Amino acid sequence: MLLIRNNAGLKVFIAEMKKKGHRIGFVPTMGALHDGHLALVKQAADLCDVVVCSIFVNPTQFNDPADLEKYPRPIARDIELLHSVGCDLLYLPEVADVYPPDLDTTLRLKPGALANVMEGEFRPGHFEGVMQVVKRLLDLVGPDLLVMGQKDYQQVSVIRYMLKKLRLPVKLHVAETIREADGLARSSRNVRLTRKWRSIAPVIHKTLSETRQNLAKMPPKQLAEAGFNALSDAGLRPEYFRIVDGTTLLEIKQPGKHEVIVACTAAWAGDVRLIDNIILKP
Ligand code: PAF
The answer to whether residue 31 scores a pLDDT higher than 90 is: yes
Q: Residue 70's pLDDT band (boundaries 50, 70, 90)?
A: confident
pLDDT per residue over 72-89, tens digit each?
899 999 999 999 999 999
**97 C-alpha to ligand 1 centroid (Å):** 17
Q: How confident is the model at residue 273 (pLDDT cuts 50, 70, 90)?
A: very high
pLDDT at 282: 84
Evaluate the omega torsion of the peptide bond into residue 74 and state whether it is cis, within 30 degrees of 0: no
Q: How would DSSP label each residue in 194-231?
A: -HHHHHHTTHHHHHHHHHHHHTTTS-HHHHHHHHHHHH
Asked if 3 and 90 touch (Cβ cutoff 8 Å), the reply is: yes
- Answer whether 268's CB lies under 8 Å from 237's CB: yes
Q: Is the pLDDT of residue 63 over 90?
A: no
DSSP, collapsed to helix, strand or coil, labels residue 174 as strand
Other CB atoms within a 10 A radius of the CB of residue 21 amount to: 7
**Which of 26, 27, 30, 99 has the most ligand 1 atoms within 8 A of CB, as the residue to mutate?**
30
Task: Give 273's contacts (C-beta < 8 A, 6+ positions apart).
Answer: 67, 189, 239, 266, 267
- Ligand 1, atom 1: closest residue by C-alpha: 29
Residue-wise pLDDT for 142-165, tens only, equals 999 999 999 999 999 999 999 999
Question: For all residues of the chain together, what is the average pLDDT?
Answer: 96
- Gyration radius of the chain over CA positions: 19
* 3-state SS class at 172: strand
- What pLDDT does residue 112 have? 86
pLDDT score, position 171: 98
Q: Are 34 and 73 in contact (CB under 8 A)?
A: no
* Cα 73 to ligand 1 centre (Å): 14
Atom of ligand 1 nearest to the CA of 56: 10
Going by C-alpha positions, the residue among 256, 233, 232 that lies closest to residue 245 is 256
What percent of the chain has pLDDT above 90?
96
Give me ligand 1 centre to Cα 127, in Å.
10
Q: What is the pLDDT of residues 87-115, one digit of tens each?
A: 999 999 999 999 999 999 999 898 889 99
The reply to whether ligand 1 has any atom less than 6 angstroms from the CB of 30 is yes
Segment 163-172 mean pLDDT: 97
Q: Catalytic residues, which ones? A: 37
Domains, in order of start, for the chain:
2-175 (3.40.50.620), 192-281 (3.30.1300.10)
Query: Tell me: the pLDDT tens digits for 201-250?
Result: 999 999 999 999 999 999 999 999 999 999 999 999 999 999 999 999 99
Is the C-beta atom of 152 inside 6 A of ligand 1?
A: yes
Taking each helix axis as running N to C, give the angle between helix 35-47 and helix 75-84, from 0 to 180 degrees, rounded to the nearest 10: 40
How far is ligand 1, taken at its centre, from the CA of residue 202, in Å? 23
